[in-house]
């Protein structure tokens, strides 16, 4: 609230990341590993015992982006609008 970022931009960003995380696991790994500098990383974990009733599962995407827009050619192409 009161941070100056347009609600439309925040909504679009959240929608794109929801689309990214809804992709099949192999696509997420493929899309996040194109950056030759390794700055775009997908972290996936499913810890705990395989016999546990409740599973802890989490995907995180880390992608620090320089303001200059360098290396955009290696950013994920999916989902559309990510770049």
Please give the average per-residue pLDDT across 49-75, as a whole number.
70
- On average, the pLDDT of the chain sits at 78
- Cβ(41)–Cβ(61) under 8 Å? yes
User: Model-level pTM?
Assistant: 0.67
Residue 48 pLDDT greater than 70, yes or no: no
Q: How far is CA 42 from CA 32, 68, 77, in A?
A: 6, 23, 14
- Residue 12, pLDDT above cutoff 80: yes
Give the rounded distance of the alpha carbon of 8 from its chain centre.
Answer: 19
């Amino acid at each position: 609230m009161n941070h100056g970022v347009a609600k439309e931009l925040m909504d679009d960003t959240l929608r794109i990341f929801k689309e990214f995380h809804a992709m099949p696991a192999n696509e997420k790994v493929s899309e996040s590993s194109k950056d030759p500098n390794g700055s775009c990383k997908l972290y996936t974990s499913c810890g705990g015992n395989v016999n546990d009733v409740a599973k802890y599962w989490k995907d995180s995407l880390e992608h620090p982006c320089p303001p200059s827009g360098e290396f955009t050619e290696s950013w994920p192409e999916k989902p559309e609008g990510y770049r």
